[in-house]
Chain A
Amino acid sequence: MAIINSIKAVTEALDVAMERDPNVIVFGEDVGLEGGVFRATQGLQQKYGIERSFNAPISEAMFAGVGLGMAMNGMKPVIELQFQGLGLPSLQNIITNISRMRNRSRGKWTAPLVIRMPMGGGIRALEHHSEALEVIYAHIPGIKTVLPSTPYDTKGLILAAIESPDPVIVLEPTKLYRAFKQEVPEGYYTVPIGEGFKIFQGNDLTVVTYGSQTVDCMKAVELLKASHPNATIELIDLRSIQPWDKKMVIESVKKTGRLLVVHEAVRSFSVSTEIITTVNEKCFEYLKAPLSRCTGYDVIIPYDRGEGFHQVNPQKILVAMQNVLDYKF
């Protein structure tokens, strides 16, 4: 097994998929010769030719729609958007056409395409490059949304997305592209869409997170040992946010009685809202503390000088965990 980072895992996933199926093609802004702004598609044009890996004109609404047409007609397009914040014109087609095609044609036409995009902050980028808008995608019926946090999951989830008969949005935390390496199997494997991963087992508090906050949460759990040496934390990486692993979270909260949801996206009308509501409905009588969350504030993502105030970090998570653990009725 090779030890690689997440960006290399993206490339490997695409390489494996293109090798297996000639109908898999990749396109997006600058993805051709140069390999995209993060070099995720580097080498693919050289290996598979300009017909299968090419630059798209800068018109995201169009190329999402074009991808839909290709997918309806037997192909497996994997479309790259440069940044989530720059790809918003594509939402027009994601919401109005891609997510609805199976339903509006009553199954005659389907849209098995994949749209990938870097997302999230913490990379000292310019305005519109650090958005965490996952909830917009999670809110749309008809598409699936995955959000890997490790090189292993990145490759496995992208391959699962390509295999999926439904349209899948892959949100790739930019901050983690080159943050660390991991052993990743060569060749083909998938990580099932909708299944979470338990990073730590624990009995006292369930922490649910995804994306780049998995790393922050792991650090916070380490820091917690100083103040709460006897507390054990069950840390869950959701990996998919629509569908999300409701069963894993509910079983965990029934065991621990406490929940903290962590994400960098703004607080209101967010993934944490959904999880907390569900847990409230399903295991109210098991709870030992109010359901809690540690998130970004409801503000426009600050530029670099202010981003540190907004970003979730291990210290913020630590305080949030302590508050839940120390709560007394």
Chain B
Amino acid sequence: MKTKYIGKFDPLKDEVVRVIDKDGKVINPTLMPKISDEELIKAYSIMNLSRRQDDYQNKMQRQGRLLSFLSSTGQEACEVAYTMVLDPKKDFFVSGYRNNAAWLTMGQPIRNIMLYWTGNEMGAKAPDGVNSLPPNIIIGSQFSQATGLAFAEKYQKRDGVALTTTGDGGMSEGETYESMNFAKIHEVPVVFITENNKWAISTPTYEQTKSINLAVKGIATGIPSIKADGNDFLASWAVAKEAVEFARSGNGPVFIEYDTYRLGAHSSSDSPDVYRPKPEFENAKLYDPLIRMKQYLIDKKLWSEEKQVKLDEEQSAHIAAEFAWVEENKNYGIEDIFNYQYSELTEDLKEQMNEAKEFFAKYPESKDGGHH
């Protein structure tokens, strides 16, 4: 397959695919991908929605109405880009835990995401026809699952692709290398992604690796590896689109490093002000993917401040309505903790479920006893 990006940018020289600069100006017109205006607006709309949802959820978490959650703030461009190029019906997205914008793009309803962050497993269940797996808290493991999903696609002679992502911290896990190694041996259609957001909780990338970048970590396995500006939606989309087509066409796996930045906290429970240098953060804000994309669209006459106000209003109302639904529906019955252990309830579990039912029928208030 003829490529425009893969194999053309050398990770060993730290070359980066970038189309627009921090002000949304096109600096590399030859790298501009073919993407429609409608798709650009749709992408920006999802990026905006995810950012607003993060903001809203932060407020709810502060009020104690939501558990700790992991925001995608700052990483929306690459997340929307790489999931937009998938077919959610036949491709697989094997996520990490910080993938809000990607989940939305795959078709996961906001209420599901919020349900998950209130502690209800039902939220991890994607709607029918959406191949988006539950958040993976154990970092690195999503790489092997995606490899297996992709292996099955190839083995069963279908043309689906599995795409998976982890952070810069996740790239220190042995399983990510092991999975890329296996995927290349079997030439399975999987796209591995690392969103290098510079911080794994409070550990900076430079304490995580002495490699020149993370993209080089794919090279040892023989996988074509490439680095792109993850805050540049156009570059992110271009590389992801080509990578998915590359894998789908039977060329084996691809590894992408997206250079991005986590503008928020690791989770809503920590404060990055403790460990993150202020000048670094202030500088990173200049590269905010939403600002770059918005300016690009305005320059292209596809967007305006009026449209922005309208979009914000619509999305805010939608987010609030979804959360209202979640607050009404976040709890579940005793059966739900037993029913999904096995394909059928074992005799033992039936006995334990009945024991629980009898106990909570007698002492209904004690259900909340574990929380302080």
Contact = CB atoms under 8 A, between A and B. Distances in A.
Interface of A: 23, 25, 51, 56-57, 59, 61-75, 77, 92-93, 96-97, 102-110, 141-142, 144, 164-166, 194, 243, 246-247
Nearest to A75: B152
B29 interface: no
Nearest to A89: B174
Contacts of A103: 121, 340-341
A289 B92 CA distance: 58
Given A56-B182, A62-B182, A70-B152, A166 B144 contact: no
Nearest to B138: A96
B149 interface: yes
A92 B174 CA distance: 12
In this complex, which of B125, B133, B144, B185 has the most chain A Cβ atoms within 10 angstroms of its Cβ? B144
B105 interface: no
Interface in B108-154: 121-122, 124-126, 133-134, 136-138, 141, 143-153
B342 A63 contact: no
B149 A73 contact: yes
Given A23-B156, A62-B179, A106-B121, A70 B346 contact: no
A321 to B, nearest CB: 28
Contacts of A57: 178, 181-182, 185
Interface of B: 92, 94, 121-122, 124-126, 133-134, 136-138, 141, 143-153, 155-156, 162, 174-175, 178-179, 181-182, 185, 340-343, 346-348
14 contacts: A59-B178, A59-B181, A62-B175, A66-B148, A66-B179, A69-B146, A69-B147, A69-B162, A70-B148, A73-B152, A73-B156, A92-B138, A103-B340, A103-B341
B340 A68 contact: no
B301 to A, nearest CB: 43
A74 B152 contact: yes
B344 to A, nearest CB: 8
A51 B150 CA distance: 14
B66 to A, nearest CB: 19
A1 B218 CA distance: 52
A244 to B, nearest CB: 9
Nearest to B190: A69
A92 B347 CA distance: 28
B21 to A, nearest CB: 39
In this complex, which of A57, A72, A102 has the most chain B Cβ atoms within 10 angstroms of its Cβ? A72
A247 B138 CA distance: 38
B141 A104 contact: no
Contact of A72 (B149, B340, B346): B149
Contact of A71 (B92, B126, B148): B148
A65 B145 contact: yes
A246 B122 CA distance: 32
B162 A66 contact: no
Judged by DSSP, the binding face of B is helix
Given A75-B151, A105-B121, 8 more contacts: A23-B155, A62-B147, A62-B179, A69-B149, A73-B156, A77-B148, A142-B341, A243-B348
Closest 3 CB pairs of A and B: A69-B148, A65-B144, A62-B178
A63 B346 contact: no
B156 A194 contact: no
Contacts of B343: 102, 110, 164-166
B181 to A, nearest CB: 6
A163 to B, nearest CB: 11
Given A61-B144, A106-B121, A109-B133, A243 B346 contact: yes
B133 A105 contact: yes
Contact of B182 (A66, A71, A72, A97): A66
In this complex, which of A51, A66, A71, A77 has the most chain B Cβ atoms within 10 angstroms of its Cβ? A66
Contacts of B92: 73
Contacts of A246: 347-348
A68 B145 contact: yes
A105 B125 contact: yes
A61 B174 contact: yes
Given A93-B141, A142-B341, A108 B155 contact: no
A234 B231 CA distance: 70
Contacts of B162: 69
A102 B341 contact: yes
Given A66-B182, A92-B138, A97 B145 contact: yes
Contacts of A165: 343
In this complex, which of B136, B143, B346 has the most chain A Cβ atoms within 10 angstroms of its Cβ? B346
A243 B138 contact: no
A141 B133 CA distance: 20
B144 A68 contact: yes
Nearest to A245: B347
Contacts of A72: 133, 145, 148-149, 152
A92 B179 CA distance: 14
A105 B151 CA distance: 21
Nearest to A247: B347
A91 to B, nearest CB: 12
Given A62-B175, A66-B182, A165-B343, A104 B145 contact: no
A62 B143 CA distance: 8
Nearest to A73: B152
A75 B341 contact: no
Contact of B124 (A77, A106, A141): A106
Nearest to B149: A69
